[in-house]
Amino acid sequence: MSEQLYNFYGFFMFIVGTCIGSFLNVVALRAFTGESIVLPPSKCPKCGYKIKPYDNVPVLSWLILGGKCRNCKNPISKQYPIVEFLTGCGFLWFYNHFAHTLIEPVTQWQNLILLPFFLVIFSLSMVIAITDIKEKVVFDVHTISLAVVILLFQTFALGGNFLPPLTGLVVGALSMELLSGIGWLMVRKRAFGTGDTYIAASMGALLGVKWFLVALILAVILQVIFVIPSFIKKLYVNKHYKVLVTGGIFFFVFILYKLPLLSSANSILQYVFLALLCVSGIYFCKLIVTNESIKENPTYWPFGPCLLLSMFLIALYGGIIRHFLMSFFM
């Protein structure tokens, strides 16, 4: 495959992805209203004006119209171009991952099957992420569809052997329920919703038990990264300075502990920093768990998108990520 043809197909996949993203917006938003995803045609959510084809070009139409309806001039949510663009990027990502091996005779047929499979489960995952982020709601029809597609494909790929993906599905679901139970014991409410349990089941079916556990660890790390900025802001606004300082000490000690300079130091100094890390971490968690204000108004970021993102990252780059996590935390 020539470079020009490779780039052309990549651009084509991006355009197709943006068009699919436009449709995914419809699927996600109409799940809340119960409307058909086929009829009626796309319309302005404010005035009901039927959107013309030339005003429905993914990303470009929103930019040209300045993010407003042509008829009523009311603003149209940024969600539409963002989802379209991200879906296009996702399609391009999978194309780039699989296309470079399409010229290899041994893997050509495998990737010709894997590429559309990943595009389908990515599209379903986008719908789940949209509803979860927008309204903190995950619809069973979307999560169950994702699990069924993965289970059927894995069974087919394994020559009809459904036990490995089914085992992974069960382990994924039970693991999330266990974590939810632990959360209930700590704060008297489920740590995760049933939608997250269904997503974890899909992860287990796709990745298998071993890689599911790696993906779950990665999802927790991604969740922390997404939550930290708003959590720090909330602590500062509510004047929880003790929690802020303790958390700052914990992360500062953790960074020092991971520095190459410390790793080459004598073992006594390493044990001192490890003890400081444990003490500050435990005290930080205690402050959060026992603070009624934080418990009553938690900083929320839906866990579903983090689970889904980690699923794809581990499926495509599992070895690299596992090596990084082990070298960073061990």
SS (H, E, C) 200-241: HHHHHHHHHHHHHHHHHHHHHHHHHHHHHHHHHHHHHHCCCH
The rounded distance, in Å, linking the Cα atoms of 180 and 173 is 11
Strand partners, 43: 50
Residue 74 pLDDT exceeds 90: no
Could you give the angle at the alpha carbon of 49 between the alpha carbons of 44 and 51, nearest 5°?
A: 75
The rounded distance, in Å, linking the Cα atoms of 308 and 92 is 18
* Tens of pLDDT, residues 20-72: 999 999 899 888 888 877 777 777 777 777 888 887 889 998 888 888 888 88
The rounded distance, in Å, linking the Cα atoms of 60 and 209 is 43
The band of 105, judged by pLDDT with boundaries at 50, 70 and 90, is very low
122 in any annotated domain: yes
The rounded distance, in Å, linking the Cα atoms of 308 and 128 is 9
Residue 204 pLDDT exceeds 90: yes
Is residue 200 within 8 A of residue 307, CB to CB? The reply is: yes
Mean pLDDT of 177-194: 74
Residue 272 pLDDT exceeds 80: no
The rounded distance, in Å, linking the Cα atoms of 24 and 130 is 9
174 in any annotated domain: no
Give me the pLDDT at residue 159, please.
79
253 in any annotated domain: no
Tokens 């599905």 sit on residue = 169
Give me the pLDDT at residue 73, please.
82
100 in any annotated domain: yes
218 in any annotated domain: no
Model confidence, pTM: 0.81
Give me the pLDDT at residue 271, please.
73
Q: Domain span at residue 56?
A: 1-137
* Tens of pLDDT, residues 207-222: 998 899 999 989 988 8
288 in any annotated domain: no
Q: Is the dihedral of CA 284, 285, 286, 290 positive or negative?
A: positive
The rounded distance, in Å, linking the Cα atoms of 302 and 78 is 19
Residue 300 pLDDT exceeds 70: no
Helix (H) or strand (E) holding 318: helix 303-329
Mean pLDDT of 229-248: 78
The rounded distance, in Å, linking the Cα atoms of 57 and 22 is 9
Give me the pLDDT at residue 17, please.
95
The band of 328, judged by pLDDT with boundaries at 50, 70 and 90, is low
The token pair at 9 is 């197909």
97 in any annotated domain: yes
Number of domains forming the structure of the chain = 1
The token pair at 260 is 């190459």
Give me the pLDDT at residue 198, please.
93
Identify which has the larger pLDDT, 146 or 286: 146
Strand partners, 50: 43
Is residue 83 within 8 A of residue 21, CB to CB? The reply is: yes
The band of 13, judged by pLDDT with boundaries at 50, 70 and 90, is very high
The band of 113, judged by pLDDT with boundaries at 50, 70 and 90, is confident
The band of 103, judged by pLDDT with boundaries at 50, 70 and 90, is very low
Give me the pLDDT at residue 106, please.
40
The rounded distance, in Å, linking the Cα atoms of 177 and 171 is 10
Q: What percent of the chain has pLDDT over 90?
A: 28
Tell me, rounded to whole angstroms, the distance of Cα 67 from its chain centroid: 26
The rounded distance, in Å, linking the Cα atoms of 304 and 133 is 9
- Which range is least confidently modeled, 7-16, 37-46, 79-88, 162-171? 37-46
Residue 178 pLDDT exceeds 70: yes
69 in any annotated domain: yes
Instruction: Classify 193 in phi/psi space as left (phi over 0), alpha (psi -120 to 50) or beta.
Output: beta
* Tens of pLDDT, residues 83-92: 999 999 999 9
Residue 287 pLDDT exceeds 70: yes
The band of 120, judged by pLDDT with boundaries at 50, 70 and 90, is very high
Which of 186-195, 261-270, 319-328 has the highest mean predicted lDDT (pLDDT)?
319-328
Average model confidence (pLDDT) across the chain = 81
